[in-house]
Structure formats: structure tokens, C-alpha cells
Amino acid sequence: MSRIGKKPVPVPAGVTASVDGQTVTAKGTKGELKFVVSEEVSVKMEDGAVCVTPLTQSKDARSKWGMARSMIENIFIGVKDGFEKKLEISGVGYRAAMQGKNIQLSLGFSHEVIYDVPAGITVTTPKPTEIVVSGIDKQVVGQVAAEIREYRSPEPYKGKGVKYAGEVIVRKAGKKK
């Protein structure tokens, strides 16, 4: 039995949720999101909460049960509060700046890297060495942060590159004399 899937997802205050067949829709102050639940899982509204149950006891249905509950909870949190990922840039001359809607990254290459920010995502640079990615869809926020980090992921000797805030870089010893 899924410990996560058993719990009903309470609808937070300020969010209106509706279940139409296999589609869960949430509207909040930040926007509107929809999630289509797999056919192996049933979903229904009960007492101001969304309940998810597997239709069969197959391994596939049980694995989609907990995942569906987590996705529904994420759309509720997203439309109410939104999600945010912070990135830190470390290295001499490494910096980020906004260029209209796009972000311009100086990461030690012979050219500037310009990243086109997708719709629905807000990227800000409070400091030249800090990037904040925010939006209502947790998956898209994480994907944008991962794509920015991928341009120059932190290297293990000096730790130069783009890393998540709070990420610990395992350092290696350099040359020994």
C-alpha cells in the first residue's frame, strides 16, 4: 500500500479545485493548472479534498497511485504559492544578467550564452552571481534551472560553475608536489 497515496489531498484556502473524469483542475491566485490522472487510478472529490485510489492491485497501478497524489498536491501548491529554485554562480568573471526576457550568462566561454526563458516562468537576477527561477509548474521550474546549470555545472577542483543554492560540491584534491 502506498503511504503517500492513502492520504487525501486537502484543497488549500484560496484554491478552487474540480475533478472532471480523469482531469484535476486547480485555480488560484497565481494561475490555473490541470493534471490528467492515469486510467489505472481513480480520482474523486470528497469533503473538500481530492482522494486517489488504484483501480487494481497491479504494480503499475500502485506506482501511479502515489505519483498521481503527489502531482495533484504540487498543482495545488503551485497555483497558491508557486515554486522557486535558486542558482549560484561561482568563478572569476562568471555572471548573469537579464537581457529583456532572456538571461545572458558569462561562463568563461569565448561567447555569451543567451537562454530563452519559456512562457510561464520568471527568471530574475538579484545579484550578478545569483539566479532565481520561479513559476507555478514545479516540473518546468526544475527543468529550466537544470538547463541553466547544465551550461557550466560545478567542477570538483575549484567549484567553479553554476550550482543550486545549498548544493554541496564534493571537492577533489589537486596536484601533490
pLDDT at 153: 93
Render pLDDT for 111-157 as a digit per residue (tens, 0 to 9): 999 999 999 999 999 999 999 999 999 999 999 999 999 999 999 99
**Dihedral sign (CA 147, 152, 156, 159):** negative
pLDDT at 93: 92
**Total structural domains in the chain?**
2
Residue 171 lies in a domain: no
Determine the 3-state secondary structure of 167 from DSSP.
Answer: coil
Which letter, b or e, does each residue of 105-130 get, where b requires 16 or more Cβ atoms within 10 Å of its Cβ? Answer: bbbeeeeeeebebeeebebebeeeee
Residue 177 lies in a domain: no
Residue 175 lies in a domain: no
pLDDT at 177 over 80: no
Domain boundary among 48, 64, 80: 80
pLDDT at 1 over 60: no
Domain boundary among 52, 80, 108: 80
Render pLDDT for 68-84 as a digit per residue (tens, 0 to 9): 999 999 999 999 999 99
CA 41 to chain centre: 24
Task: Verify that 70 and 88 share a domain, yes or no.
Answer: no
Render pLDDT for 15-46 as a digit per residue (tens, 0 to 9): 999 999 889 999 999 999 999 999 999 999 98
Task: Verify that 115 and 94 share a domain, yes or no.
Answer: yes
Task: Verify that 55 and 103 share a domain, yes or no.
Answer: no
Residue 43 lies in a domain: yes
**Grid coordinates belonging to 41:** 487510478
Q: Give whole-number Cα distances, 64 to 5, 36, 42, 44, 126, in Å.
A: 9, 12, 11, 16, 39
Could you tell me if 135 and 79 are in contact, meaning their C-beta atoms sit under 8 angstroms apart?
no
Residue 174 lies in a domain: no
Residue 33 lies in a domain: yes
**Grid coordinates belonging to 49:** 479534498
Let me know if 39 is exposed, middle or buried by CB neighbors in 10 A (0-12, 13-18, 19+): exposed
Domain boundary among 65, 80, 95: 80
Q: Which domain does 110 fall in, by range?
A: 83-164
Nearest alpha carbon to residue 112 among 126, 100, 128, 94: 94
Task: Verify that 120 and 48 share a domain, yes or no.
Answer: no
Residue 173 lies in a domain: no
Task: Verify that 45 and 96 share a domain, yes or no.
Answer: no
Residue 169 lies in a domain: no
Helix, strand and coil percent figures for the chain, each rounded to 5:
25, 35, 40
Q: What is the CATH number of the domain that holds 155?
A: 3.90.930.12
Determine the 3-state secondary structure of 146 from DSSP.
Answer: helix
Task: Verify that 30 and 93 share a domain, yes or no.
Answer: no
Task: Verify that 103 and 132 share a domain, yes or no.
Answer: yes
Task: Verify that 121 and 59 share a domain, yes or no.
Answer: no
